[in-house]
């Protein structure tokens, strides 16, 4: 389900052996690097987490970013909870501030809404001058009041 930004469709695509190198080569702005793990680390983590759902982000045919959800509905029913969280999200430096991030996040939220039993999507951010805090709040996330042990501030969007 693509969305359009300036007539260029934003889509989420499976990462393949052919595309993985290009995805791991994507970079955020230097001042943002301490706020998000590299795509290579994220993809490696995904292969060891049964609840990871990850995709490359494209504007038309141009690779522009990476996203990863933690989706409890992917786990066996006896050990799962219908919870979805935005685990990783990045738009490459040269594609930021063009509306692509908002469109991609809309697709991710729509995907989370489609998961059986989910009532919200959560995310978190590391506080600091280059954090994505304002991006998430402008999108519609709200603070939960929770701060993780590692210092990340928790946000949520409720679906009901």
The domain in which residue 85 lies consists of: 3-158
pLDDT of 57 above 90: yes
| pLDDT for the residue numbered 100 | 97
Average pLDDT of the chain? 94
Q: What is the average pLDDT across 43-51? A: 96
pTM here is 0.92
Give pLDDT tens digits for 85-138: 999 999 999 999 999 999 999 999 999 999 999 999 999 999 999 999 999 999
Q: Quote the tokens at residue 159.
A: 């679906």
3-state SS class at 20: helix
Segment 52-69 shows an average pLDDT of 98
Judge whether residue 33 has pLDDT over 70.
yes
Distance CA 149, CA 80 (A): 23
Domains: count for the chain: 1
Q: What confidence tier does 7 reach under pLDDT thresholds 50, 70, 90? A: confident
Find the Cα–Cα–Cα–Cα dihedral 71, 125, 92, 58, rounded to 10°: 30
CATH code at position 10 = 3.40.630.30
CA dist 122 and 145 (Å) reads 12
Q: How far apart are CA 57 and CA 15, in angstroms?
A: 10
C-alpha torsion sign, points 32, 38, 42, 43: positive
């Amino acid at each position: 389900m693509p969305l359009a930004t300036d007539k260029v469709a934003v889509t989420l695509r499976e990462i393949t052996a052919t595309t993985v190198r290009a995805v791991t080569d994507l970079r955020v702005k230097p001042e943002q690097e301490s706020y998000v793990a590299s795509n290579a680390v994220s993809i490696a983590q995904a292969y060891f987490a049964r609840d990871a759902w990850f995709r490359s982000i494209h504007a038309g045919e141009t690779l522009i970013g990476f996203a990863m959800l933690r989706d409890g509905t992917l786990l066996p029913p006896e050990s799962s909870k219908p919870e979805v969280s935005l685990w990783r999200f990045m738009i490459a430096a040269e594609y930021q501030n063009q509306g692509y991030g908002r469109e991609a996040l809309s697709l991710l939220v729509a995907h989370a809404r489609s998961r059986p039993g989910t009532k919200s999507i959560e995310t978190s951010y590391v506080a600091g001058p280059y954090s994505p805090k304002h991006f998430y709040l402008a999108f519609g996330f709200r603070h939960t009041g929770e701060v993780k042990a590692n210092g990340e501030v928790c946000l949520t969007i409720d679906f009901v």
